[in-house]
């Protein structure tokens, strides 16, 4: 498993370069990967709880909407990661990107194109400083993400009575929705598809 998440292998199997610009609202996120004490791990954020925020309290990758000042979606991912957790990715290794996804608050007609980029960082975990949008940073080992006992059906009352596939991490935190779809894409590309319903 660890060999599949080496930076050299990721560069071979992920999409390369910067995504083409799209029409309409867009956003970008950064999946930050490194070698940790328990093997390869990925950085996730827990968004702050805020009334009126459709992503309130959700697990996600750092990122956000594009700004007019951003040269492209890669610049958006780097800027947003710096703003949200104070991790500077400009000197890190971009190993590729995943497929663009259509995002937006579930249950609404708001839609935007989200581009996920994957970065590899070496050395110790970077120090973080969280802005008001982020409650916590959680480093999740890939061994947790492939552990089927962590797979649940996640109820999200604002969307009605349906349940959604999710992965429990760090206690009661749950990765689901758009972020889970990105993980499914990542693991499929490295040749280790997740067995979770998607």
Q: In this structure, is residue 159 part of a structural domain? A: no
Q: In this structure, is residue 197 part of a structural domain? A: no
Q: Domain tally for the chain?
A: 1
Give tens-digit pLDDT for 21-63.
888 899 999 999 999 999 999 999 999 988 766 667 899 999 9
Whether 107 shows a pLDDT value over 90: the answer reads no
Give tens-digit pLDDT for 147-171.
999 999 998 877 778 899 999 999 8
Higher pLDDT, 160 or 82: 82
Q: In this structure, is residue 151 part of a structural domain? A: no
State which residues form the domain around 54.
2-142
Burial profile 3-20: b = 16 or more Cβ within 10 angstroms, e = fewer: eebbbeebeeebbeebbe
Q: In this structure, is residue 148 part of a structural domain? A: no
Say what the pLDDT of residue 22 is. Answer: 84
Say what the pLDDT of residue 105 is. Answer: 58
Q: In this structure, is residue 85 part of a structural domain? A: yes
Q: In this structure, is residue 18 part of a structural domain? A: yes
Which CATH number characterizes residue 22's domain? 3.90.79.10
Mean pLDDT is lowest, of 85-94, 106-115, 127-136, 138-147, for: 106-115
Whether 137 shows a pLDDT value over 90: the answer reads yes
Q: In this structure, is residue 169 part of a structural domain? A: no
pTM: 0.93
Q: In this structure, is residue 118 part of a structural domain? A: yes
Query: Is the CB of residue 183 less than 8 Å from the CB of residue 169?
Result: no
């Amino acid at each position: 498993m660890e060999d599949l998440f080496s930076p050299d292998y990721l560069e071979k199997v992920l999409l390369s370069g910067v995504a083409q610009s799209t029409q309409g609202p867009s956003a970008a996120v950064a999946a930050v990967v490194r070698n940790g004490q328990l093997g390869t791990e990925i950085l996730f954020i827990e968004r702050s709880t805020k009334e009126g925020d459709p992503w309130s309290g959700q697990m996600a990758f750092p990122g956000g909407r594009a700004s007019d000042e951003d040269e492209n979606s890669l610049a958006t991912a780097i800027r947003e990661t710096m703003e949200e957790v104070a991790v500077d990715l400009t000197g890190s290794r971009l190993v590729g990107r995943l497929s663009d996804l259509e995002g937006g608050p579930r249950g609404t007609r708001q839609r935007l194109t989200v581009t996920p980029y994957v970065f590899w960082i070496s050395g110790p975990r970077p120090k973080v400083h969280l802005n008001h949008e982020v409650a916590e940073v959680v480093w999740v080992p890939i061994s947790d993400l492939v552990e089927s006992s962590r797979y649940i059906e996640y109820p999200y009352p604002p969307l009605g009575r349906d349940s959604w596939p999710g992965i429990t991490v760090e206690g009661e935190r749950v990765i689901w929705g758009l972020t889970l779809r990105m993980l499914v894409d990542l693991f499929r590309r490295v040749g280790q598809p997740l067995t979770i319903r998607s």
